[in-house]
């Protein structure tokens, strides 16, 4: 086997066990990329911030392999996880909380109070849907395993929930590090937290910004658009989205414009195909050609089910 063939094999292995490596975003700030591909449930991005009192972990992914990558990072760094900040309650952002709690019993979890409402609303409906599907005959084993894994996350209950409620935006000292927290209500979810690190000018946006497409499953899109306007006022140089690679200011400007155009086209009752064409045109190189097919599948679904005005 040549070195090139070996490299390709290793890359392929990374693809099924990602995240396999942290990326340095700025001094003391690391990205563990979440996996988001067709055919499996996504993991959100995790950002790990070095702080005087330990590590601050922003979002913990969904799958055990993602949470294990967080624990492996902490082991290599020989630092405890002091704080988890959950940007929002979607399972691909807090599913790893229980695993990190077990390994680092002193950890404090910060988030908005929106999980409680979701547990009796959206997530209760989701649980009923999963249980109903599993009760039906003829479900293939792979789908059944995925659904049981989702139920296993929901069964964690309080281990998912915050210890510290972020009830207002503003500067905070978290694990000894000065950070600025933003709080958007009824944007992507009922409560979305974002973080800005003034020392490095890194903005961690959660699912207010996602690639290859916005994910409006639980969103109020008009308030989401306003939230992007507020993010634009932050003096950041790099932005870590909830899904997808790190962005520059120019990338975010392109995203914000494409997002507005997508909402406008959907509101004007353009076809889902026209909306998808417009998004891919506007977003340009931020969604590479090999992701277009997946992006189109997502856009057709979201335009028809979430973005178009109710008939
Ligand atoms: Zn997400």
Q: What is the CATH number of the domain that holds 9?
A: 3.60.15.10
Closest CA to 222 of 193, 264, 251, 274: 264
Evaluate whether residue 172 is within a structural domain.
yes
pLDDT value at residue 310: 63
CA of 127 to the centre of ligand 1 (A): 18
Evaluate whether residue 253 is within a structural domain.
no
CA of 49 to the centre of ligand 1 (A): 19
Show the low-confidence residues of the chain (pLDDT under 70). 1-20, 310-311
CA of 98 to the centre of ligand 1 (A): 18
Evaluate whether residue 305 is within a structural domain.
no
CA of 205 to the centre of ligand 1 (A): 11
pLDDT value at residue 20: 56
Evaluate whether residue 113 is within a structural domain.
yes
CA of 5 to the centre of ligand 1 (A): 33
CA of 85 to the centre of ligand 1 (A): 14
CA of 150 to the centre of ligand 1 (A): 14
pLDDT value at residue 192: 97
Evaluate whether residue 135 is within a structural domain.
yes
Evaluate whether residue 35 is within a structural domain.
yes
Domain that includes residue 45, residue range: 3-204
**Buried/exposed 248-285: b ≥16 CB within 10 Å, e otherwise:** ebebbebbbebbebbbebbeeebebeebbebbbebbee
pLDDT value at residue 311: 52
Evaluate whether residue 217 is within a structural domain.
no
pLDDT value at residue 32: 97
Evaluate whether residue 228 is within a structural domain.
no
pLDDT value at residue 153: 96
pLDDT value at residue 12: 37
CA of 310 to the centre of ligand 1 (A): 25
CA of 62 to the centre of ligand 1 (A): 9
pLDDT value at residue 37: 79
pLDDT value at residue 137: 85
Distances (CA, A) of 57 to 40, 86, 121: 24, 8, 27
Closest CA to 217 of 136, 130, 298, 105: 298
The sign of the dihedral angle between the CA atoms of 186, 190, 191, 194 is negative
Q: Count how many domains the chain has.
A: 1
CA of 190 to the centre of ligand 1 (A): 14
pLDDT value at residue 78: 97
CA of 224 to the centre of ligand 1 (A): 15
CA of 74 to the centre of ligand 1 (A): 23
């Amino acid at each position: 086997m040549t070195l090139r063939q070996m490299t390709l094999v290793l890359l392929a292995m990374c693809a099924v066990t990602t995240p396999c490596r942290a990326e340095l975003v700025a001094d003391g700030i690391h990205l563990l990329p979440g996996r988001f591909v067709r055919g499996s449930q996504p993991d959100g991005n995790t950002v790990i911030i070095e702080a005087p009192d330990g590590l601050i972990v922003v979002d913990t992914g969904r799958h055990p392999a993602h949470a294990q990558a967080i624990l492996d990072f902490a082991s290599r760094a020989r630092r405890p996880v002091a704080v988890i900040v959950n940007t929002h309650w979607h399972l691909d952002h807090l599913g790893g909380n229980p695993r990190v709690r077990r390994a680092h019993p002193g950890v404090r979890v910060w988030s908005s109070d929106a999980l409680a409402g979701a547990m009796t609303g959206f997530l209760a409906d989701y649980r009923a849907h999963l249980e109903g599907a599993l009760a039906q005959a003829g479900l293939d084993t792979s789908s059944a395993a995925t659904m049981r894994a989702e139920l296993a996350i929901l069964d964690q209950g309080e281990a998912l929930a915050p210890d510290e409620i972020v009830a207002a935006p503003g500067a905070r000292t978290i694990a000894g590090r000065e950070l600025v927290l933003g709080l958007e209500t009824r944007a992507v979810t009922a409560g979305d937290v974002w973080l800005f690190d003034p020392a490095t000018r890194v903005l961690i946006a959660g699912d207010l910004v996602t690639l290859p497409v916005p994910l409006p499953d639980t969103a109020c899109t008009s308030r989401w658009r306003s939230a992007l306007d507020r993010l634009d006022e932050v003096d950041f140089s790099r932005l870590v989205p909830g899904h997808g690679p790190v962005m520059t200011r120019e990338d975010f400007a392109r995203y914000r414009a494409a997002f507005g155009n997508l909402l406008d086209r959907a509101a004007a009752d353009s076809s889902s195909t026209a909306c998808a064409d417009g998004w891919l045109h506007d977003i340009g190189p931020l969604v590479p050609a090999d992701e277009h097919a997946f992006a189109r599948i997502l856009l057709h679904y979201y335009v028809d089910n979430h973005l178009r005005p109710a008939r």
